[in-house]
């Protein structure tokens, strides 16, 4: 380095005077900050209208920076929690995993670089869509399809329609282990489902148990709140899936099928041990349960977990009520029902079948013999539809028909007398059960099927489950939706069809049920039999006149206080369809609640 340098070499430095500087002084950096990139991961913004309060952001957060905070000013909305995420910027690492996993798409980050404050608490804040500085700046980092961290699609399984309508074999195959693990891995454990479930089942917990391959633990979670796990794993109305956080952007988790997977795949020893682990010794107190439907069975089981002796009175030859005589075999196989009832029997519940309270034994006698009585008699009668021709002997009703079909498949009764062309009236799940059962019976008897279904409601507002509509259509059910029954046409003593007319509206201006029709749009559906599935009614023969005068019955349902306790008869409790309805899981919830009520009542009496 001894080379002599030119005397002009210092002048070289002057060229930098003309260069554009890389570092620029910005004097108004706070008011007019440097613009950040469109993807910048700045501060959080959260759209409160969209946010579910599910807390998935707080669970993915690697730094525990997110706390879910109760916000009481929010409206009550089903499927939404009144909680919103608050961010601690002392911990946040600005990784934006919370944004990428947000099931509701409410969360994003802003393009703000700076937050300066002397108030330490301002670094812990609850953002809404206006962000930390209360103004709506440009959105920065947002989730897109590439950065998605949820698994939005269901893992499916079902039989082909061609095969399935020829038999009563259960149509849903159930998950394989691999699929069940994959499906259970989609759950974000928000627990919104638990709030929506009438029985408040521990859904995230049992799904997690499936994911951890701890089937015994899963059964334990099921029996905490629901002793009819086999039944509900198949035919529950699954309100949980309706509110599932995953359903906001993708498909809800198959909660019902996972429940079914648990009950079908747990070894029987483990199953029994877990299911009976809550059952205790019979200590004292005897309780009678009237009716062995979902609410009665649930009440009986939970009374056994509380140490009471329980007798269940059932009118029919077999216990189970609607699950034994209602739900169709292709949805609810006999062995599932037997498994549930078997566990309840093993818990020490005593069934007295073929005994109708009100006929063979009176309610007063039960009152004297037992410490408390639970009524879960359900809606056991079909509601009549008084249209011209309704008294014809080929007008059939859903409840006896479904019951007879189940008995027929059990080998206890003859096949119901069905004709080649039939029509079903009704748009609920029961109507579809009837229609699809008829298809199967016709296939068995005639080799073909021809079942029409007419409902007041048009396709969009049918009260049945979406899958009933889809699967029924696949099986060949001919739907006439938005058409109300007008007249059963009878020629020479035989039914030849049902005349229907177009429905204009179902409810009148006062929101009362009062359908109006377009008389000009009517036609005849060809049929030799008419099956009516337009609703059920209760039967209260067991109430004496004196009792009836002290009980309020509204729209067929009895008025009760907390835990289903009758105000004027503290020893008497009720649940299920005669109190709340309309589904099995509500019955289960009522039964459990009443068991707690009975326990409270009996313990308070002892003091």
Cβ-based neighbours of 83, under 8 Å, separated by 6 or more: 53, 55, 68, 69, 70, 71
> Which residue, 56 or 590, has its beta carbon nearer to other proteins?
56
Answer yes or no whether residue 279 interacts with other proteins by CB under 8 A.
no
Residue whose CB is less far from other proteins, 249 or 444: 249
Q: Does 9 bind other proteins (CB under 8 A)?
A: no
Q: Which of 40, 125, 390, 540 binds other proteins (CB under 8 A)?
A: 40
Please tell me whether residue 504 adopts helix, strand or coil conformation: strand
d(C-alpha 183, C-alpha 255), whole Å: 9
Choices 54-62, 320-328, 406-414, 462-470 (CB under 8 A): range interacting with other proteins: 54-62
- Single out the segment in contact with other proteins by CB under 8 A; choices: 116-124, 149-157, 418-426, 558-566: 149-157
Q: Describe the strand order of the beta sheet including 483-491 as a list of residue ranges.
A: 483-491, 494-507, 513-526
Nearest residue (CB) to other proteins, 147 versus 277: 147
Q: Report the site for other proteins in 103-122 (rule: CB under 8 A).
A: 109
Contact call for residue 140 and other proteins (CB under 8 A): yes
Sole binder of other proteins in the list 51, 54, 188, 203 (CB under 8 A)? 188
Nearer to other proteins, 63 or 448 (CB): 63
Q: At what angle do helices 215-225 and 268-275 cross, to 10 degrees?
A: 40
Q: Tell me the window of 121-129, 183-191, 272-280, 432-440 that interacts with other proteins (CB under 8 A).
A: 183-191
Cβ-proximal residues to 313 (8 Å cutoff; 6+ apart), any chain: 288, 289, 290, 291, 292, 352, 355, 356, 357, 361, 366
Nearest CB to other proteins, comparing residues 36 and 353? 36
Calculate the alpha carbon distances from 539 to 287, 320, 536 in Å: 22, 17, 10
Of 89-97, 281-289, 560-568, 571-579, the segment contacting other proteins by CB under 8 A is 89-97
> Does residue 134 sit in helix, strand or coil?
coil
Helices (H), 226-332: 229-235, 239-243, 255-265, 268-275, 294-305, 322-325
Shortest distance in whole angstroms from residue 95 CB to other proteins: 4
Binding mask 189-218 for other proteins (x = CB under 8 A): x---------------------x-------
Among 33, 62, 515, 561, binds other proteins (CB under 8 A): 62
Compare residues 95 and 551 and give the one whose CB is closer to other proteins: 95
Please state, as a whole number, how many other Cβ atoms lie within 10 Å of the Cβ of residue 508.
Answer: 11
Query: CB-based contacts of 555: which residues, under 8 Å, 6+ apart?
Result: none
For residues 263 and 206, the answer to whether their CB atoms sit within 8 Å is: no
Using the Cα atoms of residue 280, residue 284, residue 290 and residue 295 in order, give the sign of their dihedral. Answer: negative
Q: Does 157 bind other proteins (CB under 8 A)?
A: no
Binding-site member from 150, 274, 337, 574 for other proteins (CB under 8 A): 150
37 lies in the site for other proteins, by CB under 8 A: yes
By CB under 8 A, the count of residues binding other proteins is: 41
- The secondary structure of residue 460, as a DSSP letter, is G
Q: Does 90 bind other proteins (CB under 8 A)?
A: no
Q: Which stretch binds other proteins (CB under 8 A): 137-145, 295-303, 384-392, 570-578?
A: 137-145
Distance CA 560, CA 550 (A): 12
Kindly state whether residue 17 participates in binding other proteins, applying the rule CB under 8 A.
Answer: no
**Any contact of residue 101 with other proteins (CB under 8 A)?**
yes
In the list 104, 184, 404, 586, the residue contacting other proteins (rule: CB under 8 A) is 184
Nearest partner of 325 among 268, 378, 392, 249, judged by Cα: 378
Alpha carbon distance 539, 407 (integer Å) = 22
Q: Retrieve residue 482's tokens.
A: 């938005």
- Candidate segments 179-187, 226-234, 354-362, 551-559, binder of other proteins by CB under 8 A: 179-187
The contact set with other proteins (CB under 8 A) reads 1, 22-23, 36-41, 56, 59-63, 93-97, 100-101, 109, 140-141, 144, 146-147, 149-151, 155, 181-182, 184-189, 211
């Amino acid at each position: 380095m001894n080379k002599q340098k030119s005397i002009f070499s210092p002048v070289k430095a002057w060229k930098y005077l003309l260069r554009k500087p890389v570092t620029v002084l910005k004097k108004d950096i706070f008011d007019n900050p440097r613009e950040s990139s469109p993807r910048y991961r700045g501060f959080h913004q959260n759209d409160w209208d969209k946010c579910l309060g599910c807390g998935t952001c707080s669970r993915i957060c690697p730094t525990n920076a997110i706390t879910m905070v109760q916000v009481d000013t929010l409206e009550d909305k089903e499927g939404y929690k009144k909680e919103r995420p608050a961010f601690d910027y002392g911990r946040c690492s600005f990784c934006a995993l919370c944004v990428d996993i947000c099931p509701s798409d409410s969360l994003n980050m802003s393009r703000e670089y700076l937050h300066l404050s002397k108030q330490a608490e301002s670094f812990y804040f609850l953002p809404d869509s206006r962000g930390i500085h209360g103004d709506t700046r440009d959105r920065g980092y947002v989730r897109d399809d590439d950065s998605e961290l949820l698994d939005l699609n269901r893992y499916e399984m079902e039989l082909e329609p061609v095969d399935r309508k020829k038999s009563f074999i259960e149509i849903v195959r159930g998950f394989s282990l691999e699929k069940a693990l994959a499906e259970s891995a989609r759950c974000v454990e928000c627990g919104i489902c638990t709030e929506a479930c009438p029985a408040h089942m521990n859904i995230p917990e049992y799904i997690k148990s499936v994911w951890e391959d701890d089937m015994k633990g899963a059964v334990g979670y099921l029996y905490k709140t629901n002793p009819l796990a086999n039944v509900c794993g198949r035919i529950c109305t699954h309100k949980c899936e309706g509110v599932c956080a995953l359903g906001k952007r993708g498909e809800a988790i198959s909660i019902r099928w996972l429940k079914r997977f648990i009950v079908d795949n747990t070894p029987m020893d483990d199953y029994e041990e877990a299911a009976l682990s809550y059952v205790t010794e019979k200590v004292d107190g005897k309780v009678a349960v009237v009716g062995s439907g979902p609410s009665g069975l649930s009440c009986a089981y939970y009374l056994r977990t509380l140490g009471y002796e329980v007798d269940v009175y059932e009118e029919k030859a077999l216990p189970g009520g609607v699950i034994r005589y209602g739900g169709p075999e292709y949805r609810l196989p006999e062995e599932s029902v037997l498994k549930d009832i078997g566990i309840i029997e093993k818990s020490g519940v005593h069934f007295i079948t073929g005994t109708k309270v009100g006929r063979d034994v009176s309610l007063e006698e039960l009152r004297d013999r037992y410490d408390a009585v639970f009524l879960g008699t359900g809606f056991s009668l079909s509601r009549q539809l008084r249209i011209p021709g309704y008294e014809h002997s080929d007008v059939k009703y859903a409840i006896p028909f479904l019951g007879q079909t189940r008995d027929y498949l059990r080998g206890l009764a003859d096949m119901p007398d069905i004709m080649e062309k039939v029509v079903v009236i009704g748009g609920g799940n029961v109507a579809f059960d009837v229609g699809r059962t008829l298809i199967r019976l016709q296939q068995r008897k005639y080799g073909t099927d021809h079942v029409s279904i007419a409902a007041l409601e048009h396709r969009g507002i049918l009260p049945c489950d979406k899958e009933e509509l889809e699967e029924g259509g696949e099986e060949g059910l001919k739907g006439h939706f938005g058409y109300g029954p007008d007249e059963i046409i009878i020629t020479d003593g035989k039914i030849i069809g049902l005349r229907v007319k177009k429905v204009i509206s179902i409810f009148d201006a006062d929101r009362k049920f009062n359908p109006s029709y377009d008389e000009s749009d009517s036609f005849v559906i060809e049929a030799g039999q008419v099956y009516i599935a337009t609703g059920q009614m209760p039967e209260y023969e067991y109430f004496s006149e004196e009792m009836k005068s002290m009980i309020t019955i509204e729209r067929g349902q009895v008025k009760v206080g907390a835990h289903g306790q009758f105000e004027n008869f503290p020893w008497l409790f009720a649940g299920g369809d005669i109190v709340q309805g309309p589904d099995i899981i509500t019955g289960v919830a009522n039964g459990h609640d009443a068991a707690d009520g009975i326990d409270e009542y009996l313990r308070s009496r002892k003091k």
